[in-house]
Amino acid sequence: QVQLQESGPGLVKPSETLSLTCAVSAASISSYYWSWIRQPPGKGLEWIGYISYSGSTNYNPSLKSRVTISGDTSKNHFSLKLSSVTAADTAVYYCARCLYDILSGHIYDMDVWGQGTTVIVSS
């Protein structure tokens, strides 16, 4: 079955760039939409953005100025970069596969999730 696995540094210094990768198995990143979601300690879910099968992206307006999501079809993985991080960016970061509604032109269900990776922003 489809599996997603996040990886990256667990500790990032304030003002630096957070970089994470999501490795996808049993599905091609060229065939679906893929999202990053985060969850601060003890809080709810926040959608960060997605990358489409064709490489187009869409970001949460609240994070748009600091976020870049990219894909590498040769490695079948996609990545997240979040710049100028602060303590408020401390969270568990999840990647997920999204389903896309052609009629409405946007994503809806997130049907497969990675196990998540914890990122702490601290000096």
* Residue reference for tokens 């996609």: 78
| Nearest distance, CB of residue 24 and another protein, angstroms | 15
Using the rule CB under 8 A, which residue among 2, 11, 45, 120 binds another protein? 45
Q: What is 68-83 written as a DSSP string?
A: EEEEETTTTEEEEEE-
Q: Which of 3, 80, 73, 88 is nearest to 39 (CA)?
A: 88
Binding to another protein (CB under 8 A) within 75-94 occurs at 94
Residue 81 or 106 having the CB closest to another protein: 106
Kindly state whether residue 116 participates in binding another protein, applying the rule CB under 8 A: yes
Kindly state whether residue 110 participates in binding another protein, applying the rule CB under 8 A: yes
- 88: DSSP letter: G
Kindly state whether residue 14 participates in binding another protein, applying the rule CB under 8 A: no
The sign of the CA dihedral 86, 82, 42, 11 is negative
Kindly state whether residue 34 participates in binding another protein, applying the rule CB under 8 A: no
CB 106 within 8 A of CB 49: no
Angle, vertex CA 113, rays to CA 71 and CA 29, nearest 5: 25
Residue 71 or 114 having the CB closest to another protein: 114
Using the rule CB under 8 A, which residue among 8, 68, 76, 113 binds another protein? 113
Write out the residues near another protein by the rule CB under 8 A: 35, 37, 44-47, 50, 58-61, 94, 99, 101, 104, 106-116
